[in-house]
A and B are shown apart, each in its own frame.
Chain A
Amino acid sequence: MTALEVTGLVKRYAGRAVVDGLSLVARPGTVLALLGPNGAGKTTTVEVCEGFRTADEGTVRVLGLDPRDPALRPRVGVMPQSGGAYPGLRCGEMLRLVASFSARPLDPGMLLERLGLVEVEGTAYRRLSGGQQQRLSLALAVVGRPELVFLDEPTAGLDPQARHATWELVEALRADGVSVVLTTHLMDEAERLADDVVVVDGGQVVAAGTVAELTRGGAIGQLRFRATPGLDVDQLLNALPEGCAAKESPAGQYLVEGEMDPQVLAAVTAWSAGQGVMATDLRVESRTLEDVFLDLTGRELRS
């Protein structure tokens, strides 16, 4: 059984498809990241899966059930993108209230401690900082010991310490067999946490796979260096292993693309020695998830 299975999901607002034929599968006990720019349809997709919105087309199965099935409520934890607590209740009161809805909740005191909320346990929700509200929201999502957790931009607006605490919780959930579906536009977050990444843009899946699969595709690696302008690139190309490309662009900056291995590096240094030049700033880069993301979703700013 899958933790989450979305097939051909379409969701329209005022006739415009915000989610347009999206399909994905989350495997049990793994972390799936929905990665995409703002407005890509990530939150809408997640909210259909959480049962907050109904699909216009397509099917969604959450733990094998319809997302609106009341039997799912104890089994699924939800962290919405913002809000979701009584402004007048204290941090600890809110967590204990939601814990009291579950038969075997996690110890609220332990959660508050692990998420660095002990000092603000007695502080009204409305007086918490944005980061503290986020961490409480995360605690509320997991306190009922769910099998599947939806986290919508769990680290938005968090400082580095809080972000790492959140990451550690997600990793601990995964280690304990909880399935996690999270949305993010942060590459490092997806790269660190996700078993599977689904890149979404314009309401559609533009790429899907493991982080390794996604970063391996296309131009595999790059080697850049600086040297005297106008060197004989064809000669370098002959010295390189099969399948590599080399060019000078702009003048004095050289780029070799292909599968990076020691042979490539040796060929470049031997060639530059043969030319009697010193290659400087030489560095080998592999594609990051960010490169993949920007290649897929474009580099222009979104409105």
Chain B
Amino acid sequence: MTTWTPGSLAPSPGAAPVPAMLRAQTLAELKLVLRNSEQVLLSLVIPLGLLVLLVTVPFIAVDGVDSRAGRADFFVPGVLALAVMSTAFTGQAIGVGFERQYGVLKRLGATPLPRSVLLGAKTLAVLAVEVLQVVAISLVGLALGWDPQGSVPAVLVLVVLGTTAFSGLGLLLGGTLSGLTTLAAANLVWFVLLVLGGVLFPLSAFGGAQDVLALLPTAALSTGLRDVLQDGAGLPLRETAALAVWAVGSLAAASRLFRWE
């Protein structure tokens, strides 16, 4: 080890421009997600695998549908909702839970990186992963005979609202519990919402409970996307409202309860 050149450590403090910080942090968040094999499994492999399985092996009956293309029309919107939940909720909750446990958020809090930029970078990284997911799921869906209807803006509104709601829930969970508890809870919630959220089964399979289940974020997103993509409806009011309420409620709770360490 060599000695230090005098003056080489002289103070010269200053924050980098916000766009530079946002770019660097977003790239770091993306690297972390794409390097994490559990996260890739959750975000890409499981949704794609489920889609292929559900469409090609007709073990779950869908009312009034008997063709493969018809099954694709039913399942693609649900799998899109699953993908959004996996990335914005489960992945983000687990990531934040462990970042808190490892003291990363505390350390970043002591750098010039503002918290708003950190949260912005997390959001951009989630959106980037979702773009990847939507492209992959759409390509596989189209290959399976999916015939999407409806308007792109309506889909975008639903996906953005769903992402916001799931991000709020993910930050709430990961921001309050320990890393391991978050891991367990986030996976459990993911599985429960997979079953009860209109992804695997139509909500009608749950009889009288369906009106309540329809208000769950996953169900609202999958049903809303199905209304638009399968039936060509405009922006469905009940689902959009449900997602908006989840988004506002979860973000408000997260901003009050979130702990940085």
List the interface of chain A (C-beta within 8 A of B).
50-52, 70, 73-78, 80, 82-89, 93, 97-98, 100-104, 106, 110, 113-116, 140, 142, 144-147, 161, 164-165, 168-169, 172-173, 175-178
Contacts and interface: CB of A to CB of B under 8 A. Distances in A.
A176 B8 CA distance: 7
A93 B156 CA distance: 34
A74 B1 contact: no
B104 A86 contact: yes
Contacts of A85: 102, 104, 107
Contacts of B20: 100
Contacts of A106: 8-9
Interface stretch (B28-36, B64-72, B196-204): B28-36
Contact of B11 (A51, A70, A147): A147
Contact of A78 (B13, B110, B113): B110
Interface of B: prevailing SS = loop
Given A97-B24, A100-B24, A89 B32 contact: yes
B178 to A, nearest CB: 14
A194 B14 CA distance: 27
B13 A145 contact: yes
A113 B8 CA distance: 14
A86 B28 contact: yes
Nearest to A141: B110
Nearest to B14: A103
B28 A144 contact: no
A77 B3 CA distance: 21
Contacts of B8: 106, 110, 172, 176
21 contacts: A73-B111, A73-B113, A74-B13, A74-B15, A84-B102, A85-B107, A86-B32, A88-B36, A100-B16, A100-B20, A100-B24, A102-B15, A102-B112, A103-B16, A103-B17, A114-B2, A161-B1, A168-B3, A168-B4, A169-B9, A178-B9
B261 interface: yes
Given A75-B11, A144-B13, 5 more contacts: A86-B99, A88-B35, A103-B17, A113-B2, A173-B9
A98 to B, nearest CB: 6
A134 to B, nearest CB: 13
B10 interface: yes
Q: Top 4 closest A-B pairs, CB basis? A: A84-B107, A103-B14, A83-B103, A172-B4
- Sort chain B's interface into a size bin: 35 or more
B12 to A, nearest CB: 4
B106 A75 contact: no
Interface string B16-43: 1100110011001001100110000000
B6 interface: yes
Contacts of B114: 70
Contact of A176 (B9, B110, B261): B9
B7 interface: yes
Contacts of B232: none
Nearest to B2: A114
A145 B10 contact: yes
Contacts of A142: 9
Nearest to B28: A97
Given A52-B261, A145-B12, A84 B106 contact: yes
Given A80-B103, A145-B11, A176-B8, A50 B110 contact: yes
Contacts of B2: 113-114
A101 B24 contact: yes
Contacts of B104: 83-86
Contact of B107 (A80, A110, A116): A80
A76 B15 CA distance: 11
B58 interface: no
B103 A168 contact: no
B49 interface: no
Contacts of A165: 1
Contacts of B14: 74, 102-104
Given A144-B13, A168-B3, A78 B112 contact: no
B12 A104 contact: yes
B109 interface: yes
A172 B10 CA distance: 9
Contacts of B112: 73-74, 101-102, 144
Given A144-B112, A147-B13, A176 B28 contact: no
B28 A101 contact: no
The listed residue with most A CB atoms (<10 A of its CB), out of B2, B28, B98, B109, is B28
A140 B4 CA distance: 17
B102 A101 contact: no
A83 B2 CA distance: 27
Given A97-B28, A98-B111, A52 B106 contact: yes
